Chains A and B, each alone.
Chain A
Amino acid sequence: MPNLKDLKNRIASVKSTRKITKAMQMVAAAKLRRAQEAAEESRPYAERFNAVMAGLAASVGGSDTAPKLLTGTGSDQVHLLVVMTAERGLCGGFNANIAKLARQHADKLVADGKTVKILTVGKKGRDALKREWKDSFVGHVDLSEVKRLSYADAQGIAKEILDRFDAGEFDVATIFFSEFQNVVTQIPTAQQIIPAKFDKAEGEAEGTAAIYDYEPSEEAILAELLPRGVATAIFSGLLENGASEQGARMSAMDNATRNAGEMIDKLTIEYNRSRQAVITNELIEIISGAEAL
């Protein structure tokens, strides 16, 4: 049986761990609210954007002059996987789930004889994929200095991807992020951004409602907007990720706090039992000492 001093130390240590996880949970809750607001604020833009793009893509998509970003390069040999994860850990399975999805995707592509290139956004995804896919890494975007995610950050990532696309480094680009459902559910998602795919159902409803005049021309507008579509997709992915990360951390820390509480209860019972045993022992010693006289 461990002695009293050790037990006391262990209880104190678990107690301070609980304080830390509790604090982290509350910080995550506050950040989650902000991240969720940011995600919601960006939604009207993304929705309108996709609706307009779907209409445009449907009318221009068939022609031979359609931009490569929409129709693709005509091959799908080289795939770029953009894996977007958090910069920090201690958020449950959040980073691991995204990395797992990306890994499955990459395995499948390689099995099909394709070439895989990986661009990581966020340190944790890079760490998770480093062992198996180190040779496929083509770049890394560090967001650890970014306090509040802005559209300019997404534009930066989009520019890097588009530059590579223009240089003919890949044919198909897919982004990996976690879609925020609620605090306990985050769904790792893969979304193809190049060649661009737009929500058709929404687009058709929009397209039949009105026939638009285009200024300058349909092709010119499409050519200008497609690169922005990449940035928009990345931006909403990053925002979803931000909310998911905080949600995942909040529930992970909630669990940790609860586990610490249980552990403290168990240790306290053990502590009290051994204290009682010591007292009983001492009493026996005293009584038998008195009888011996």
Chain B
Amino acid sequence: MADTMQFDLVSPERRLASLQASAVQIPGADGDMTAMPDHAPTITTLRPGILRVESAEGTSEYLVTGGFAEIGAGSLSVLAERALPVTEVNREHIDEMIEEARTAHAETKESGDHTIVDDAAKLLADMEALGTHMGLATESRAAAP
């Protein structure tokens, strides 16, 4: 069994990472999963969250929102709509994302379609949890619905 697999993280704008990883924790839409070499081939969509990559050089973390991950036997590709190394993320990023999610939530509320409202609410909650997780929670969080 191979110790490592080829890991690629790409966003539409650039390739963020391409390295040999021993394990990758993926924030899947149906729950987190950790992919290791020789994982069963899987395609999963992502929810906003933290992607944790373990490699020989150490652990690196990326903030990803939306997209999907394609797990093959010897490789893992994550195609994220937006991806940032956690070290580059600051409060403004989180605030901006929470704001976007909140607007989307408010917009869908008016449409009256429950599944979409639930989705937007979940997105908003995900975003806020993310902020809290990173210790970047804002005071506006208290005012959230």
Note all chain A residues with C-beta closer than 8 A to B108. Answer: none
A231 to B73, CA, bound (A): 29
A residues in contact (CB < 8 Å) with B = 38, 41-42, 44-46, 48-49, 52, 56, 150-151, 154, 209-216, 220-221, 224-225, 228, 231-232, 235
B29: chain A residues at CB < 8 Å are: 215-216
Is A215 within 8 A of B72, CB to CB?
no
B8 at the binding interface (Cβ < 8 Å)? yes
Which residues of chain B are near A228, meaning CB under 8 Å? 66-67, 81
Pairs of residues from A and B, 5 with the lowest C-beta to C-beta distance, nearest first: A215-B44, A210-B41, A151-B12, A213-B42, A41-B14
Q: B40 interface residue, CB < 8 Å from A? A: yes
Query: Do residues B11 and A151 form an inter-chain contact, with CB atoms below 8 A?
Result: yes
A41-B13, A210-B73, A232-B12 as given contacts; A224 in contact with B45, CB under 8 Å = yes
Which A residue's beta carbon lies closest to that of B100? A152
Least CB separation from A220: chain B residue: B45
How many residues of chain B are within 8 Å of chain A by beta carbon? Answer: 27
Residue of A nearest to B40 (CB): A213
B85: min CB distance to chain A, Å = 16
> Which chain B positions have C-beta within 8 A of A49?
79
Docked CA distance A74–B73 (Å): 38
- By beta carbon, the residue of chain A nearest B11 is A45
Cβ-closest chain A residue relative to B70: A52
Which of B11, B14, B44, B67 is within 8 Å of A214, CB to CB?
B44
* Chain B contacts with A in 84-117, Cβ cutoff 8 A: none
B15 close to chain A: CB less than 8 A: yes
Nearest opposing residue in chain B for A47, CB measure: B10
Q: Which of B8, B13, B70 contacts A38 (CB 8 A)?
A: B13
B43 in contact (CB, < 8 A) = yes
A52-B68, A215-B29 known; A45+B79 contact, CB < 8 A: yes
Which residues on B sit within 8 Å (CB–CB) of A150?
13
Tell me if A42 and B12 are in contact (CB < 8 A).
yes
Contact B40 A151 (CB under 8 A): no
Are A212 and B12 in contact (CB-based, < 8 A)?
A: no
CB closest chain-B residue, reference A151: B12
B4 in contact (CB, < 8 A): no
Give min CB distance, A202 to chain B, whole Å.
14
B30 contact from A44, A48, A216, Cβ within 8 A? A216
Give 14 pairs: A residue, B residue, CB < 8 Å, sorted on A: A42-B13, A44-B15, A45-B15, A46-B12, A49-B79, A52-B68, A52-B70, A151-B12, A151-B13, A210-B72, A210-B73, A216-B44, A228-B81, A232-B12
Bound Cα distance A213, B40 (Å): 7
Chain B stretch 56-91: residues in CB contact (< 8 A) with chain A: 66-68, 70, 72-73, 77, 79, 81-82
Asked whether any CB of chain A lies closer than 8 Å to the CB of B28, the reply is yes
Q: Say yes or no: A221-B43 contact (C-beta < 8 A), given A41-B15, A44-B15, A228-B81.
A: yes
What are the residues of chain B within 8 A of A224 when measuring CB–CB? 45
